[in-house]
Amino acid sequence: MYRVKITFRVQRDIVSGLRFFSNVIRKGIKVDKNSYMVGSYGPKTEEQIYQSPMEEAPSGMLARGQYKAQCKFTDDDKNTILEWEWFFEIVKK
């Protein structure tokens, strides 16, 4: 099980309909795809925190290996606010 926690700050304009997208890929094959509505935010000096729901990590002997997660935030107008990727590895303990 895992979850993504993101801390962000809205500086200038209101961001409406913020959505979080996540794709998990292994060896070029998409194994998981998620989309979550985060909400609408006005400018604030304080940081906002978003935590995704708990995700089930792949399990079993065949699931071992390296995975790439591609994530992004978009708004109502389909503008990409932030886009990044990260990697994780499932190993035997």
Cβ proximity of 76 and 17 under 8 Å:
yes
Which domains occur in the chain, in start order? 5-90 (2.70.50.30)
Cβ proximity of 77 and 50 under 8 Å:
no
- Interval 30-63: pLDDT, tens: 999 999 999 999 999 999 999 989 988 877 778 8
**Residue 14 reports pLDDT greater than 80:** yes
**Residue 68 reports pLDDT greater than 90:** yes
Helices of type H across 1-93: none
**Residue 83 reports pLDDT greater than 90:** yes
Task: Count CA atoms within 13 Å of residue 20 on its CB side.
Answer: 18
Whole-prediction pTM: 0.82
Report pLDDT for 62. 83
Report pLDDT for 73. 94
Helix (H) or strand (E) holding 18: strand 15-26
State the chain's mean pLDDT as an integer: 91
Q: Which residue has the tokens 């500086």?
A: 11
